[in-house]
Amino acid sequence: MIDNPWSLVLVGVMALLTFSLGYVGSRRANTTPDFLVARRAVPATRNAAAISGEYLSAASFLGVAGLVLKDGIDALWYPIGFTAGYLAMMLFVAAPLRRSGAYTLPDFAEARLGPSNLRKFCTFFVICIGVLYLVPQLQSAGLTLNTITGLPPWLGGAAVTVIVVVNVLGGGMRAITLVQAFQYWGKLFAIAAPTFVLFSLFLVGPGNGAQPVDSSGVLRFPEKVEVTTVDPVRVRVAVPMELSATGLVDGYPTDGHVYWTPGLYEVGADTELRFEAGSPVPVVEGSPTSNHDWLRPQTGGLSGLFETYSLIFATFLGTMGLPHVLVRFYTNPDGRAARRTALHVLYLLGLFYVFPTVLGVISRQYLPQLLVTGKTDAAVLLLPTTMQPNLLGQVLGAVVAAGAFAAFLSTSSGLLVSVAGVVSTDILPGKVRDFRWATVLTGAVAIGLAFLLPRSDASLTVAMSFALAASTFCPLLLLGIWWRGLTWVGAMAGLVVGGGLVIGAQVVTVVSSYTGRWAPSVLSQPALVTVPVAFLTMVMISKLTARRRPDDVNQILLRLHAPDPLGFMRDRESRFGVEERSRAARGDDATSSPSGS
C-alpha cells in the first residue's frame, strides 16, 4: 500500500468541490421539474459535458486501462463500444426520444404503447440496469480508497454513497448538471496530465523503466516483488519458474520455496508470493500469458472472436438503453438540441478514451505484479508512484485518484437520480418528498449489494449491464420509434425474453464461477444471441397481436419525428406531480380529439 498524503487531500478537495457546486446549483432548485429535468434549460455544450461526465464511469477511468494491461489489444473494444454506442443512440434515438416528452423509459413505453402492464416491466428493468451499474462504481470507490490510503474497502463505497445521496437530496438534476459538467473536465485533466508526463518519461528515460520482456516474449518481473492475494485466484504459468510462497497453493498450506512447471495453479486468499527479479510473471487465468498474444488482436480463436462480436453488440446497442444516459436527454429544450448535444458528446468521449489506452500499455511495463492477482483496475492509480517514486509521482498519483473519485461520484449521481426518478414516479406518488425517499432507498440497496456481491473488473460488470440494456430497451426504443406495428404485448414479450435470457446467463455464470467454471464463455457475454432473439420476439408477437396496436400510433409517430419548429413536441410534465397524473391528461386528449373534429 502506498502512503500518499497528497491523494487524500485531492480526493477531499474533489468531494468538497462537488458539494459546493451542488450547493450553488441547488439553491435555485425548488420545484419538481427542477429536481428531475433541470427545468429543461441546460445549454447544449454544458449538457454534453455533463453527459460525458456521467457516462465516463469507473469502467472508463480505471477499467479500460486495467483491461488493456491484462488482455491487451482486444480490450480496446470496450472504449470503442462505449463511443460507438453513443453514435447509435444519436442516430436512432436522441431526437425522437426527446420529442416524445417522456422523462423515463417506462414513461416512454406508456406514451408510445398506451397504458398497460408494460410500464411495470420497464420499471423493473430500469432498476435492474441502474443498480447493476451502480454496484461496480461503489466497489471501485472502495478499491481506490484502499489502494491510496490502505483504509478498508467498504469505507470508500460508503463515502461515495453518502456524498452522492446528500448531493442529490440537496438539488436533484439541477444541481448535478453543473457538478457533472465540472467533473468531465476534472476527469479529462486527471487522466490527460499524468498520461502526458508518464508517457514522456517512458519515452525518454531508458534507465527509468526496466526491460521486462525477454526475446521470446515472456513477461518478467523487473525487480524483486512481493504479491499478497486478497481473494483466491487461478494463475497460469507458461515457463517453469521458482518462487517462494506463504499460504495456500493448490489447496495445500505452503511456506517456502516452490517450483512451478507450466500449468494452472490455484492460490488461496491472503497468500504471499515472493518473486525474484527476472522471474517470469504468472498471469491470472483467462488472460494472455505471453507478450506475443497480448500485442496481437484475435489470438483467442473462434470463441475469442465470438466474445468480441458479442461485446460489440452489447455496447453498440446497449448505450441507448442506459437509464442515466437517457434521462439526460430530457434536459435538452428540443429534439434538435438533443441531437447536437449527442454530437458534442461524441467529441468529448473520443478525446478522453485515448488516454486510458496509453496508460494501460505503459503499465504493462511497470506493474506486472497486478497480473498475478488480476486486480488490474488499480493500474492507473499505482502507475504514477511506481514510475516516479518521488514528489512528482505522488502529486500525479493524487491527481489520478481525485479523477477516479470524480468518476464514481458523477456516474453514481446520474444513476441515482435516474433510478430514483423512476422509483418515485412509478412506485411512489411522484412528489419531491417521494423523490428524496426513493434516493435514500436506492442508495441503500446499491451499497448493500456492493458489499454482498463478489468484486470483479469494473468493465466486465458494466458490460453485463450493457448486455441487459441491449436485450431489453434497445429493441423497445428502436421498434417503438421507427416501426408502427409495435404493440404492448409484443414489447412485453421481447422484454421478458431478452431480459430473462441475459439474467439467466448471468446467474449460470456466477454459479459456475463458484463450482469450477464449467459454463461456456457464450454465457458470460450473451448479447450476440440475446439481442436478435429479443428483436425477433418483439416483431413476431407484435404481428400476431396487430389489433392491439394503439389507435393513435400515427399521431404519436408524428410527434416523435415532426421537426421542432412545427411545435408538435409536448412534455409530459403532468407526471411530475405539477398537475394530476398524466393518465388524467391523456384522458383529456382522448375526449377532446373527437370533439374537435
Partner 1 sequence: MTKHSGPPGQPDQPQPAERDAWLSVAARKNRRRRVVLADPRGRGRVLRTIIELEEQTSVGEKLIRDLIRTQLRTGLALGGGTLLLLAALPLVFYLAPSVAEVELVGVRLPWLLLGLLPFPLCYGVGYAYRRLAERHEHDFVSSVDR
* Residue ranges in contact with partner 1 by CB under 8 A: 73, 76-77, 80, 83-84, 86-88, 90-92, 95, 295-299, 305, 308-309, 312, 316, 336, 339-340, 342-343, 346-347, 349-351, 353-354, 357, 482, 554-555, 557-559, 561-570, 589, 592-593, 596-597
* 458-482 helix and 527-544 helix, angle to the nearest 10 degrees: 20
DSSP structure string for 62-101: IIHHHHHHHHGGGGGHHHHHHHHHHHHHHHHTHHHHHHHT
Ranges of beta strands (E only) in 146-232 are 225-228
Shortest CB 49 distance to partner 1, Å: 16
Q: Is 8 exposed, middle or buried (0-12, 13-18, 19+ CB in 10 A)?
A: middle
Which of 91, 507 has the CB closer to partner 1?
91
Shortest CB 338 distance to partner 1, Å: 11
Shortest CB 332 distance to partner 1, Å: 14
Output the nine-digit C-alpha cell for 392.
512528482
**Cell 434536459 sits on residue:** 331
Which of 79, 393 has the CB closer to partner 1?
79
Query: Dihedral (C-alpha) 322, 324, 329, 332: value to the nearest 10 degrees?
Result: -170
Shortest CB 335 distance to partner 1, Å: 9
Shortest CB 87 distance to partner 1, Å: 5
**Pairing label, strands 241-249, 272-275:** antiparallel
d(CA 280, CA 425): 57
Query: What stretch of H or E contains 323?
Result: helix 323-329
Which of 28, 484 has the CB closer to partner 1?
484
d(CA 506, CA 253): 33
Which of 162, 354 has the CB closer to partner 1?
354
Which of 436, 572 has the CB closer to partner 1?
572
Shortest CB 52 distance to partner 1, Å: 13
Output the nine-digit C-alpha cell for 64.
479500460
DSSP letter (8 states) at residue 290:
B
d(CA 348, CA 185): 10
Helix (H, G, I), strand (E, B) or coil at 287: coil
Which of 86, 330 has the CB closer to partner 1?
86
Residue pair 60/85 in contact by the 8 Å Cβ criterion: no
Output the nine-digit C-alpha cell for 296.
496481437
Shortest CB 439 distance to partner 1, Å: 30
Shortest CB 481 distance to partner 1, Å: 9
d(CA 273, CA 256): 10
Residue pair 231/269 in contact by the 8 Å Cβ criterion: yes
Which of 136, 321 has the CB closer to partner 1?
321
Query: What stretch of H or E contains 529?
Result: helix 527-544
**Cell 453514481 sits on residue:** 412
Shortest CB 556 distance to partner 1, Å: 10
Which of 278, 297 has the CB closer to partner 1?
297
